Amino acid sequence: MSSNPASPVTRITPPSDSKIYLDLTGLPWSHSFLLTILKSCNSNLDTFDISTTTIQGVNVVPGTDRPQSTSHSAVMEIVHKNDNKTTTSTIYLKKIAAIDIDKPYPDLRRNICYARNELTFYKTCQTACNTPRLLHSVLNTKAIGDHDVSDPPGPAPADLTGVGGILVLEPVNLDPSDSSSYFQKSPLTIPEVKLALKTFAKLHASHWNSPNLTSLNLQRHGGSYALPNRNPTELKKVSSNFKKFCSEFSPLNPSFYTSSILSVGRRLEESASFISSSLLSPSPFKTLIHGDSKSLNTFLSSSHPSLLIDFASAGPGHGMSDVSMTLVHALKPGYEEENLIDYYIEVLKGEGVEYSKDQAMEHFNLGLCDYARFMLGRFWGSSTPATFEGKKDNENVALVNRDIECAEQFIKRVEEALTSLNL
């Protein structure tokens, strides 16, 4: 499987039929592309000579190949030979290829915009928080234009071959036997969620009330669930989806589903525009947010600052949008919400940001309702006790979408938030 480095079109024979071995055009990785990655991997080695290096093979680390409907990622080993010495370099590769996304064009375009946004974050904002080291990136979005993810998609291009993005990062040490390693999990304990909140607070403090937010060239509105970034049909389903949810789950706990609880879907749908505008309009509290703060987008460690990944939805917003999603996504009922918000405020203060408790709670309630609108419109129309049971062990799914107790606590808290906001 070795190749001649003098030929830039030489391609590496894939060891399997996994599409992770193919580039944005559907062809096997080129020798020159892999050499470029190796140069970044070994940039700290004075003895590494790219001109005499040949690629011997590429393999996916077992258990890391993760094809999804809109992206494909894996931890990969590049075996290379230099001066008769064979070495292995390990990378994390994430690919978003338009030709691999089997979705209507508006949804496909949204995901390509997310890829562009993530690569832009790594190039312009990586110092705002701790992230894995960027080794290499490729971006081709010319066919879809420079429009924002919230703009109308327009007509589909005739040919999307080569459109998409590739992100190559230094892999994160997840070896549980190594005391300096990181971990991901859901649900989180209170100390663990504090580690996550500390990381988000530092990110938010880096651009709090910054006049330069728009110059970062990120998407117009931060947040994977920000209303302008979503398919408009989702909002129209919020009330009806919640009625379906209640009909499926109320027989298990009839006394919970009071008239005020049953009104949540309608109230969220009716107030969605107001809530969204309150979070996205110009404000002295706007900052740079992560936008998709689920627990598996944070690598936690007891000995190192936490790492954040997946900045596809990063952009301007209220930090409490990240905080509310973090708590909803990975905490079991029974935690002291205000204590955690107090902790977040304390970390901000340590970074030089003053944020009053009253203002924080108002923004938290808005963020919570905004996330609830997304959850009901996007997921709960097809939820049943059986689907919750089927997802109960999937750590990448929000607890409120796989644990009935968490879902009902979420609904109760959203109703309280709506009432607090007079909605």
| 3-class secondary structure, 28 | strand
- Residue 242 CB neighbours (<10 A): 27
Q: Is residue 84 part of a domain?
A: yes
**pLDDT greater than 70 at residue 5:** no
Tell me which residue range forms the domain holding 217.
190-420
Same domain assignment for residues 306 and 228: yes
405-411: long-range pairs with CB below 8 Å, 24+: 405/332, 405/333, 406/332, 406/333, 407/249, 408/249, 408/253, 408/256, 409/333, 410/328, 410/372, 410/375, 411/261, 411/264, 411/372
Final residue of a structural domain among 114, 134, 169: 169
Mean pLDDT of the chain: 93
What are the start-end ranges of the E strands in 98-209?
Answer: 134-140, 164-169
Mean pLDDT of the 278-304 span: 94
Q: Is residue 403 part of a domain?
A: yes
In a domain, 332, yes or no: yes
Rounded mean pLDDT, 102-110: 94
Task: Answer with the one of 135, 169, 203 that is the final residue of a domain.
Answer: 169
Which pLDDT belongs to residue 6? 43
Note whether 80 and 138 are same-domain residues.
yes
Q: Which CATH number belongs to the domain containing residue 354 in this structure?
A: 3.90.1200
Q: Distances from the Cα of 156 to the Cαs of 220, 234, 314, in angstroms?
A: 22, 21, 25
Residue 97 pLDDT greater than 70, yes or no: yes
The mean per-residue pLDDT over the stretch 35-51 comes to 75
Strands of 326-396 (E only): list them.
Answer: none
pLDDT at 386: 98
How many CA atoms lie within 13 Å of 160's alpha carbon, on the beta-carbon side? 20
Q: In 3-state terms, what secondary structure has residue 221?
A: coil
Q: What is the pLDDT of residue 10?
A: 79
For the segment 298-313, the average pLDDT, to the nearest whole number, is 94
The pair of three-digit structure tokens given for residue 155, joined into one six-digit string: 């007509």
Q: Are residues 213 and 295 in the same domain?
A: yes
What per-residue confidence (pLDDT) applies to 3? 44
Give residue 83's pLDDT: 79
Whether residue 178 is contained in a domain is answered as no
Q: Structural domain tally of the chain?
A: 2
Average pLDDT of the segment spanning 100-125: 94
Which region among 52-56, 119-123, 298-302, 341-345 has the lowest average model confidence (pLDDT)?
Answer: 52-56
- What is the per-residue pLDDT for 373? 98
User: Mind giving me the DSSP string for 46-98?
Assistant: TT--GGGEEEEEEEEPTT--EE-SS-EEEEEEEEEEETTEEEEEEEEEEEEEG
Pairing of strands 315-318, 66-67: unpaired
pLDDT tens string 160-213: 999 999 999 999 999 989 988 999 999 999 999 999 999 999 999 999 999 989
Is the peptide bond prior to 187 cis by the omega test (within 30 degrees of 0)? Answer: yes
pLDDT at 254 over 80: yes
**pLDDT at position 44:** 60
Q: How confident is the model at residue 45 (pLDDT cuts 50, 70, 90)?
A: low
Residues 197 and 315 in one domain: yes
Give the model confidence (pLDDT) of 205-227 as tens digits: 999 999 989 899 999 999 999 99
Measuring CA to CA, how many Å separate 346 from each of 130, 150, 202, 305, 353? Answer: 19, 34, 11, 17, 9
